[in-house]
Amino acid sequence: MSRAPRAYHHGDLRQALVAEAATLVEEEGLGALTLRELARRLGVSHAAPKNHFADKDALLGELAADGFVEMAADLAAATIGKSPAADLRATGRAYIDFALRRPGHFRVMFGRGASPPSPRLGEAGALAFSILERAVAATLPPARARSAKHIAEAAFLAWSTVHGAAMLILEAPLSPLLTDGITVDHLVDAALASIARAVNA
């Protein structure tokens, strides 16, 4: 079935391309993404995207950077100072919620291959990780919280846990696990609870 081109505001083609790229990745996968296909979906000439992005990698880099900026804002908003443990769990939940709300962005953020990151992408990714790192560090005993090595190890463990949970929910068939009243929320809560125990072990 032919798909009607999506309208966009004049002068905002760059952002329209980024938004449409996220939708296309979500609907059809990263392999379906080309500048030509985006132009067709937006109803512009095949050459128009080249005025904003030199190639697909440049567009993907912008999409990934946007994703990390939004994720960082979500993680920061989740850290409300209730308690270190509560903030860590809230930050982890915000990470997973972002992945479920923005699956197109999320897949590109962590699946771009060997393309070199732009400065904006590197800065946005570092900011998002630093927020998670601070939330983890706040839960550590004072002696460990002063050690960069301990903080890095604990933050990597927390990141691996929430990222793995997000990927499993997005990509894996969870229905065999969702029995006897178990829901995705139960599994997420169990994963987040395990982080605080593990980083203080």
The confidence band for 71, taking pLDDT boundaries of 50, 70 and 90, is: very high
How far CA 101 is from CA of 15, 94, 106, 146, 172, in Å, comes to: 19, 10, 9, 35, 17
pLDDT at 3: 54
Residue scoring higher pLDDT (146 or 63): 63
pLDDT at 16: 93
Contacts of 144 (CB under 8 A, 6+ apart): 150, 151, 154
- 59-68, 136-145, 180-189: least confidently modelled range: 180-189
User: What is the arithmetic mean of pLDDT over 21-48?
Assistant: 91
pLDDT at 114: 44
Whether 171 has a pLDDT exceeding 50, the answer reads yes
CATH 1.10.357.10 is the classification of domain 56-199:
yes
Domain boundaries, the chain: 13-51, 56-199
Q: 3-state class of 166 per DSSP?
A: helix
CA geometry: angle 70, 59, 69, nearest 5 deg = 15
**Class assignment of domain 13-51?**
mainly alpha
Residue scoring higher pLDDT (132 or 193): 132
Q: What gap in Å lies between CA 188 and CA 182, rounded to an integer?
A: 11
Cβ count within 10 A of residue 171: 10
pLDDT at 2: 46
pLDDT at 172: 72
The whole model's pTM is what? Answer: 0.82
pLDDT at 75: 95
Whether 149 has a pLDDT exceeding 80, the answer reads yes
Q: 3-state class of 177 per DSSP?
A: helix
How far CA 47 is from CA of 53, 63, 125, in Å, comes to: 10, 20, 31
Q: What gap in Å lies between CA 154 and CA 146, rounded to an integer?
A: 13
